[in-house]
Amino acid sequence: MKRKFLTNLALLLVLNLLVKPFWIFGIDRSVQNLVGAEEYGLYFSLFSFSVLINIILDLGITNFNNRSVAQNPHIVSEYFSKIIPLKFALSLIYAFIVILAGLMVGYSAEQFQLLYLLIFNNFLLSFILYLRSNISGLQFYKTDSLLSVLDRLIMILICSLLLWGHITDEPFRISWFVYAQTFSYLLTMGVALVVVLSKSGRIRLNFNLRYGLKILKQSYPYALLILLMSFFNRIDSVMIERMLNDGKEQAGIYAQAFRLLDAVVMFAFLFAGLLLPMFSNMLKNNEAVGPLLKLSFSLLIVPAITLVVASAFYGEEIMAMLYHEHVDVSSRIFIRLIFAFLFISTTYIFGTLLTANGSLKQLNMLAAVTVFLNIGLNLLLIPRFKAEGAAYASVASQGFFAISQVFLARKIFDLRSDYSTTIRLVVFAICLVLTGIMLETTNISWIISFLGLSFLGLAFSWALGILNPKEVLEILRAS
């Protein structure tokens, strides 16, 4: 299983490194700079608002389906025929609730025009993720990897034409960005649907209310977990925009920093998407998960620590290179916010194992406490520190959630305390910090220093035995 994990992870990372960095730093950044902090802040706030309750689109069906199909591949056709009509019904309920909530919040007609598009886009994305859960559950990881970047690849082509193709003399509008998302999601959903049908065979859609309620009863713990996590991941920008007089601008400034965190989180999410069906299958077959857990955590936490340390030293230079406005404020936010990546990475490893095990009750209790912690900290810190306060709240709440999951996983799986690895990680971080301090005293370009620190991080991890290239090669060579 470790060999399967490494080979498919390598493919996932290569595809995403080819596509997503250009999307983030070429397309998304250009859009933010062109439309300005206030207009992008409005979009970002509305997007976060629409995401807060988009779990209604799915109610945990995707994670439940992925785990179930991974353990029982023969059920894919039966589940598929009954879940699709159910998801359409949930989509109507979601749209109604979001529109009603928008009216209660007091959004204007202009804001609603954008919100309608975002509602439809979330509907499409939900279907794509559900279709992909069937593909990865059936162990077709390479196909799923290709689908994971298809929507972004299409958006890059469309947005490149709009940004640099000189096909119009009008200034770029944020609505064009959203329309590009719609088109790319439609095409990707079509391709994913064809793939699933080719694997499952002919199906006949059948809306069965009793069967649908049965599935929802089984999937609702997944839904609750995703809902709670969405709140403490996305509520910050909504609270910034609603609580402050200059809320739109502050939300736009926060978005500059958050988008970089969101970018690196995408790569951590790849681990979770690959590990969930693998852990599920291993637990069903009573296989030891410890070796895969340690391998995946080491492979993710080493680059996470390296990135956080390098960003802490060169956060201002990074933001100045990417953005034209509010660099001084957004860089401070970024330097603080990036520390959340350490905890999010931990969650995507240990939280995925707990999800595969079905430990949803405990996870939901932890997530509920984290929501109250996050909202409370935001209410306390945003009025005083504005967008920077939301960054502090995010890091604190993510830290609580991640550390709690580590202790929970140790208790459930009777994992031994690995003090050796913990000490090595601390020494590793100290070595990076000392190297960063030394590099700051030189006249070397910050880009070269950033890259040098990153490569030295890899060397330190090998020297300390956190990552073992020989072990990785032996796993890859194994039949």
Residue 435 pLDDT more than 90? yes
Residue 423 pLDDT more than 80? yes
Show the tokens assigned to 433: 């910090």
**Cα 309 from Cα 34, distance rounded (Å):** 30
Helices 76-105 and 29-52: angle between axes, nearest 10 degrees:
100
| pLDDT computed for residue 8 by the predictor | 67
| pLDDT computed for residue 301 by the predictor | 92
Q: Which of 394, 416, 438 is the last residue of a domain?
A: 416
| Dihedral (CA of 444, 448, 454, 456) sign | negative
**Cα 150 from Cα 8, distance rounded (Å):** 17
pLDDT tens per residue across span 237-257: 888 988 888 887 888 888 888
- Whether 180 and 158 map to the same domain: the answer is yes
Show the tokens assigned to 40: 């992008």
Residue 477 pLDDT more than 60? no
Helices 61-71 and 109-137: angle between axes, nearest 10 degrees:
10
- Whether 353 and 442 map to the same domain: the answer is no
- Whether 188 and 98 map to the same domain: the answer is yes
- Whether 360 and 452 map to the same domain: the answer is no
Show the tokens assigned to 357: 């095990």
**Cα 155 from Cα 183, distance rounded (Å):** 8
- Whether 16 and 74 map to the same domain: the answer is yes
Of 87, 386, 66, nearest to 257 (Cα)?
386
Q: Does 3 or 461 have the greater pLDDT score?
A: 461
pLDDT tens per residue across span 98-152: 899 888 888 888 888 888 999 999 999 988 988 888 887 777 777 888 888 898 8
Q: Does 75 or 298 have the greater pLDDT score?
A: 298
| pLDDT computed for residue 479 by the predictor | 40
Residue 206 pLDDT more than 70? no
How much is the average pLDDT of 469-474?
Answer: 59
Is residue 152 within 8 A of residue 82, CB to CB? The reply is no
Show the tokens assigned to 224: 């609750």
Q: Which of 416, 434, 460 is the last residue of a domain?
A: 416
Residue written as tokens 């200059």?
A: 246
- Whether 220 and 88 map to the same domain: the answer is yes
- Whether 411 and 436 map to the same domain: the answer is no
Q: Which residues constitute the domain of residue 195?
A: 2-416
- Whether 173 and 282 map to the same domain: the answer is yes
Q: What does the mean pLDDT of the chain come to?
A: 84
Show the tokens assigned to 205: 């859609």
pLDDT tens per residue across span 24-64: 778 887 887 888 777 887 787 788 788 777 777 877 777 77
Distance (Å) of CA 99 to CA 52, 179, 442: 13, 19, 55
Quote the radius of gyration of the chain (alpha carbons, Å). Answer: 22
**Cα 60 from Cα 224, distance rounded (Å):** 7
Residue 438 pLDDT more than 50? yes
| pLDDT computed for residue 478 by the predictor | 46
Band of the pLDDT at 420, cuts 50, 70, 90?
confident
Domain count, the chain: 2
Show the tokens assigned to 369: 């406490």
Q: Which of 393, 416, 439 is the last residue of a domain?
A: 416
Instruction: Find the range with the poorest average confidence among 171-175, 336-340, 391-395.
Output: 171-175
| Dihedral (CA of 367, 466, 276, 121) sign | positive
Show the tokens assigned to 34: 């062109």
Residue 2 pLDDT more than 60? no
* Helix and strand numbers, DSSP H then E, in the chain: 18, 0
- Whether 319 and 358 map to the same domain: the answer is yes
Residue 475 pLDDT more than 60? no
- Whether 188 and 263 map to the same domain: the answer is yes
Give the DSSP per-residue string, 243-276. Answer: HSTTHHHHHHHHHHHHHHHHHHHHHHHHHHHHHH
Helices 290-322 and 419-440: angle between axes, nearest 10 degrees:
20
- Whether 121 and 237 map to the same domain: the answer is yes
- Whether 327 and 434 map to the same domain: the answer is no
| pLDDT computed for residue 208 by the predictor | 67
Band of the pLDDT at 14, cuts 50, 70, 90?
confident
| pLDDT computed for residue 331 by the predictor | 92
| pLDDT computed for residue 185 by the predictor | 93
The contacts of residue 351 (CB under 8 Å, 6+ apart) are 272, 363, 402, 405
- Among 22-26, 80-84, 286-290, 443-447, top mean pLDDT goes to 443-447
pTM listed for this prediction: 0.73
Length reported for the chain: 479
Report the C-alpha dihedral over residues 6, 9, 11, 15, rounded to 10 degrees. -160
Give the DSSP per-residue string, 311-379. Answer: HHHHHHHHHHHH-SSSHHHHHHHHHHHTTHHHHHHHIIIIIHHHHHHT-HHHHHHHHHHHHHHHHHHHH
